[in-house]
Structure 1
Amino acid sequence: MNHVLKPPMCTAVVSIGVWPMAKVHIDSAKCSGHARCFAAAPGLFDLDDSGYVIGPCVDVPPGAEADAETAVESCPERALTLE
């Protein structure tokens, strides 16, 4: 069976020998602009003027994984997933 790998929604340049950083993927169809993710982790998310998260995903820098997890759990619409 052949497996076709789909490219991720977001890509990052990764150096050889460096583990790729975590990502928060945003389902913009589910986001209702509560901005709870931003309240939980303001350094990770950019919001538009209406409070909606900008972008299909956000790179999580090393050391910010716990903040990203808190942000994902704080979304009442479950619009965020952490990978």
Structure 2
Amino acid sequence: MSGYDVLKTLKQSEFLKHIPVIFITASDFDNVTDYILDLDDDAVSAVLKPFNFKSLLGKIDYFLWSFPEPLSITIYSTQSQSS
């Protein structure tokens, strides 16, 4: 399951769709940006690898303080498993 699949699942759930998501990716910036813009969702952002830690903290801070509902931090990692 890719990060995009996880995001799609989150956004389809009434219970989970309000949760902000920050992609940390090595993907091409244009592809990630186009995907995020297509979602038209203020609660989705991306940080490209290698990333600046202060930039990531800034995005986390923005999401923690910019939404009306209190947010808690959940770290979720997807890793490809080779057979």
The TM-score, its normalising length taken from structure 2, stands at 0.30
Which structure has the bigger radius of gyration?
1
Which protein, 1 or 2, shows the higher relative CO under an 8 Å CA cutoff with sep ≥ 6?
Answer: 1
The TM-score, its normalising length taken from structure 1, stands at 0.30
**Structure 1 or 2: larger helix share?**
2
